Amino acid sequence: MADEQSGEERQQRSGRGISRRGLLIGGAVTVGAGAALFHEELGRLWWRVPGIDKQRNKGEVDHRGAQWIAASEANLRYADRPADFTVDRVVIHVTEGSYATAVRVFRDPLHAAAAHYVIRAKDGHIAQMARELDVAFHAGNRGYNERSIGIEHEGFVDRPETLTDVMYRSSARLTADICARYEIPVDREHIIGHNEVPGATHTDPGRHWDWDKYMKLCREAARRRSA
């Protein structure tokens, strides 16, 4: 499951996060915006803060077929990847709870964690909750959050039957897509478990996660994609 943001990240949110807002507010004031206009401007221009160049369109997803369900802004940090941080890892999680619960807690501003994607066990349905541009707090390690995309899988680490074939396949297509878009090698150095993140306190995806099967599916999906 997604790990709570590190203290460093919390500090960064309250430091760099506020200073970005401060700059934005300064800009809005100089154009003489009234209170109502100010709020509208804030909504429209927030991405034009230093270091964030790409416009975001409401409901847009990075993986075709994914359903957009926005995580709380408090559980991620706006960024401009891969321009500001190289993306070279995919981190695999298991939720230790239902799909619905994962979606709900990632929308909760007090949860302090979210992954980019959540995949449902029964049908492989994918919810995208954070844009890949942004740094989602899922790995419990600032550097790994900045360089990775996190995928949650509905299930329990001690109940292998919850890790369904349809979910493995859907996830493998997603991972192959991510790897192709960022030119990440499809191997175990770059596709890792949450437990393999340095300093990880979480054990997911656990010993029942079938890495051999998953990597085979990822390689197949990558081949189909480039064929």
Q: Which residues bind Zn ion (CB under 5 A)?
A: 1, 93, 194, 202, 204
CB of residue 46 to Zn ion, shortest distance in Å: 29
Q: Nearer to Zn ion by C-beta: 93 or 111?
A: 93
Cβ 106 to Zn ion shortest distance, Å: 12
| Choice between 32 and 198, CB closer to Zn ion | 198
Nearer residue to Zn ion within complex by CB, 49 or 126: 126
Name 217's Cβ contacts closer than 8 Å, sequence gap at least 6. Answer: 168, 169, 172
Tell the smallest beta-carbon distance from residue 206 to Zn ion (Å): 10
What span, in angstroms and rounded, lies between the C-alpha atoms of 106 and 116?
10
DSSP alpha helices (H): ranges in 31-164?
Answer: 35-45, 99-107, 142-147
In this complex, which beta carbon is closest to Zn ion, that of residue 2 or of residue 217?
A: 2
Minimum gap (Å) between residue 101 Cβ and Zn ion: 14
CA distance 155 to 159: 7
DSSP sequence for 189-217: TTEEEGGGSTT----TT-TTS-HHHHHHH
Q: From start to end of the chain, where are the E strands?
A: 67-68, 76-77, 89-94, 117-119, 126-128, 135-136, 148-153, 191-193
Choose among 108, 127, 121: nearest CA to 68: 127
Nearer to Zn ion, 52 or 127 (CB): 127
Question: Measured from the CB of residue 93, what is the shortest distance to Zn ion in angstroms?
Answer: 3
